Amino acid sequence: MTKLSINLNKVALLRNQRDVGYPDPILAGRTVLQAGAHGLTVHPRPDERHIRKSDVPALATLIRGEGWDRQGVEFNIEGNPFEDFLDLARIGRPDQATLVPDAPGQSTSDHGWDLRGDTSRLRGVIVQLKALGARVSLFMDADPAAMRLAADIGADRVELYTGPYAHAFETGQRDGVLARYVDTADAALHAGLGINAGHDLTLDNLPVLKAALPRLDEVSIGHAFTSDALWMGFDAATRAYLAALS
């Protein structure tokens, strides 16, 4: 089964436009979990333009304090490991830490790691995250040759950056691009890695990706999910994405 983790960043972004405290990402998290989501994802940035540092312990308490963890629900924190990420991980104690090579002012994630240039620093961070009890996933481009490197530095999983796939899907060129994701997933499995995916996944393109990658462990979806939830509501949107995965 491929698990669905809902990224709450865009809910927090809307909240931060006014000093009124709503919409509340904690309430949104509870709602999607009640509707059947398997986890919650946050990607704090240093400027706190959406998820704030104070949201991290509140969401961890939601999952563990209300017993969702006993049902297999996971907390995933994403971010650049060299930008106060370890401090947040110590506070939130995530089940999964997804390491992303974002610059501080970057609007959204748009590329994976170059492991040939970041190996030594990443290896040290991975050791510390595993000591906190977190599974470690590396945000990676669809590159079969990089999967062995990811395993060698200690990653447990890779999260495949699916932006190029989503673009190809919209422009009618998905088959050639999708083949590279299939090859990358095969290389990841051969290296002993689990496979996650995320970025620009929608109700339209998600079933095709899932069919091509049957051993996909998890997808994290935020922007498209929040957009759909504006029309459908959080309950119905969660159920729709669960159906798309099945």
pLDDT of residue 121: 87
Catalytic residue among 38, 74, 159, 199: 199
193 pLDDT higher than 70: yes
Average pLDDT over residues 139-158: 97
Q: Provide the domain limits for residue 237.
A: 3-245
- Tally of domains in the chain: 1
pTM to 2 decimals?
0.95
Pairwise CA distance, residues 84 & 45, whole Å: 10
Average pLDDT over residues 169-188: 94
pLDDT of residue 120: 83
| Catalytic residue status for 190 | no
CATH for 157: 3.20.20.70
pLDDT of residue 46: 87
Pairwise CA distance, residues 162 & 7, whole Å: 15
Catalytic residue among 38, 43, 50, 218: 43
Longest dimension (CA), the chain: 50
| Catalytic residue status for 43 | yes
For residue 116, what pLDDT band results from cuts at 50, 70 and 90? confident
pLDDT of residue 172: 83
Mean pLDDT of the residues in the chain: 94
Which residue, 124, 132, 61, is CA-closest to 96?
Answer: 132
105 pLDDT higher than 70: no
161 pLDDT higher than 70: yes
pLDDT of residue 141: 97
Average pLDDT over residues 153-166: 97
Average pLDDT over residues 169-184: 92
* Interval 83-104: pLDDT, tens: 889 999 999 999 999 999 976 6
Average pLDDT over residues 150-159: 97
Pairwise CA distance, residues 243 & 246, whole Å: 5
pLDDT of residue 28: 98
124, 128, 130, 131: CA torsion to nearest 10? 140
**What's the helix, strand, coil split of the chain in %, to 5?**
50, 15, 35
Pairwise CA distance, residues 223 & 17, whole Å: 17
pLDDT of residue 219: 98
* Interval 11-39: pLDDT, tens: 999 999 998 989 999 999 999 999 999 99
pLDDT of residue 83: 80
pLDDT of residue 82: 87
Pairwise CA distance, residues 40 & 220, whole Å: 8
Residue 244 buriedness (CB in 10 A; 0-12 / 13-18 / 19+): buried
